[in-house]
A = this chain, B = another copy of it.
Amino acid sequence: MGVMSEKMNSYQDFVALSPDTLPSRLGGLAALKDRIGGDASAWSVREVGDGNLNLVFIVQGSKGAAVVKQALPYVRLVGESWPLPLKRSFFEYHALSRQSQRDPGMTPEIFHFDPGQAMIVMEFLSPHIILRRALIEGQELPRIAKDLGLFLARTLFRGSDLCLDTKLRKADLALFADNVALCDITESLVFSNPYFDAKLNRHTSPQLDGIVAQLRADRDLKVAAQRLKHIFAATPETLLHGDFHTGSVMVTPGQTRVIDPEFAFYGPMAFDVGMLLANFWMSYFSQTGHEADGSRDSMRRYLLNVIAEIWAAFRAEFSRLWHGERSGILYQRALFEDQGDMLASEQALDLVLQGIWIDMLGFAGVEMHRRILGLAHNADFETIENTDVRARCETKALKLGRHLAVNRHRIHSVVEVNRLAERLEKEIVT
């Protein structure tokens, strides 16, 4: 569904906000006035959207502040030449609602949703900063591993047929099936473009030209990436965040919040897990580039620990939910526990977790590639100004990514992946 067809129906009254128009346009909105103070003429408004897609305003009133996020009918980063449906705001709103039920307190509170204006008014998280930025700065945040591991397990488990009434899941799947345009971005930019000479690609050149050519000629890698795309497109096990990297997490030392689920759709459980861990592995390899302000040895150890702990927390919580909340149509107790066969249930749990593990590694692998070879790079590497240093960091991530994608069925444990990352980190890359 293109922008034009949208405008002809539910979005015909859409007008983009600006700092100047926001107070007059939203000044009558009780949900906002009650939170930040009723005198709209005294509001101060800053536009802070630093993502690729949307407008984001911080509105400060006499009593407090709130965030107003509004979609635009095109990709902000590129302009009107790349239209993108406003309806992504609808999907973001519904994903936030479901996530807040499934892991309460881990998403910003929603004050108001205006579907026709593609606008969500929500909690202003302060003094939270974007996790990716904290990691670039070398901050060792104590809570993120546990919080993110639990969030993954709870949202993925509770949105699936392991728990949810399958009628609800199927109706919701149908609702989110229309988030085609954002899935298309992932399908193209993550799974395909990095592996051929696509227009939108870019990479640190000429330093990476050699390995890029190697990867694009790597038959096993390309087949693996396409198999992962197949799984991505046709395994709607649960409602995913869909874009779960360290730029979609806001943190303080004491709090972790997950934001921006506009890519939400029903997909494979392993996708959110793999994308998140990939971004930590990339952060790990990028640390050398940020070492000017002091050694990052401790930060590197911290990051590998975070990865191992996210995975451990995810497994532990997923197992706990398996034993306590497995009320859906899959792996029913009637066939296992109710027949006195506890070990059958454990065997099935091992099988499910093993499947997630294998595919998670694969998704992590392609995520590392697309952030270095594709359109949307990440600040961990991009902020390394010395391109020789940056290219060395990126090369290590590309190599690990290739290893994970191709060998995912044979890799034993996250600890061993971390050891391999350490060996790549110490390797003299030529």
Contact = CB atoms under 8 A, between A and B. Distances in A.
Interface of A: 160-161, 166-167, 170-171, 173-175, 177-178, 180, 183-184, 187-188, 192, 195-196, 198, 216-217, 219-220, 222-223, 225-227, 229-230, 233-237, 329-332, 334-336, 338-339, 341, 343-344, 347-348, 351-352
Contact of A335 (B195, B235, B237): B195
B219 A329 contact: no
| List of 3 A-B pairs having minimum Cβ-Cβ separation, nearest first | A174-B174, A174-B177, A219-B344
A160 B160 CA distance: 23
A178 B169 CA distance: 11
B166 A173 contact: no
A184 B161 CA distance: 12
Contacts of A335: 192, 195-196, 222, 225-226
Contact of A233 (B223, B227, B330): B330
B178 A166 contact: no
A8 to B, nearest CB: 18
A331 B219 contact: no
Given A226-B335, A329-B187, A347-B219, A171 B166 contact: no
> How many copies, total?
2
A351 B177 contact: no
A222 B336 contact: yes
Contacts of A216: 339
5 contacts: A188-B329, A196-B335, A198-B334, A219-B347, A236-B236
A367 to B, nearest CB: 17
Contacts of A344: 219, 222-223
A184 B183 CA distance: 28
A65 to B, nearest CB: 38
A335 B229 CA distance: 13
Contacts of A198: 334
A334 B219 contact: no
A216 to B, nearest CB: 7
Given A217-B339, A335-B196, A233 B161 contact: yes
A193 B173 CA distance: 26
A347 B177 contact: no
Nearest to A268: B234
A89 to B, nearest CB: 19
Contacts of A188: 329
A177 B180 contact: no
A212 to B, nearest CB: 13
Given A174-B174, A192-B335, A234-B235, 13 more contacts: A167-B184, A170-B177, A170-B183, A171-B177, A217-B339, A219-B343, A219-B347, A222-B335, A223-B344, A223-B351, A226-B335, A229-B329, A234-B237
A227 B348 contact: yes
Contacts of A170: 177-178, 180, 183
Interface centre among A195, A222, A229 (most CB of B within 10 A): A222
Contacts of A352: 230
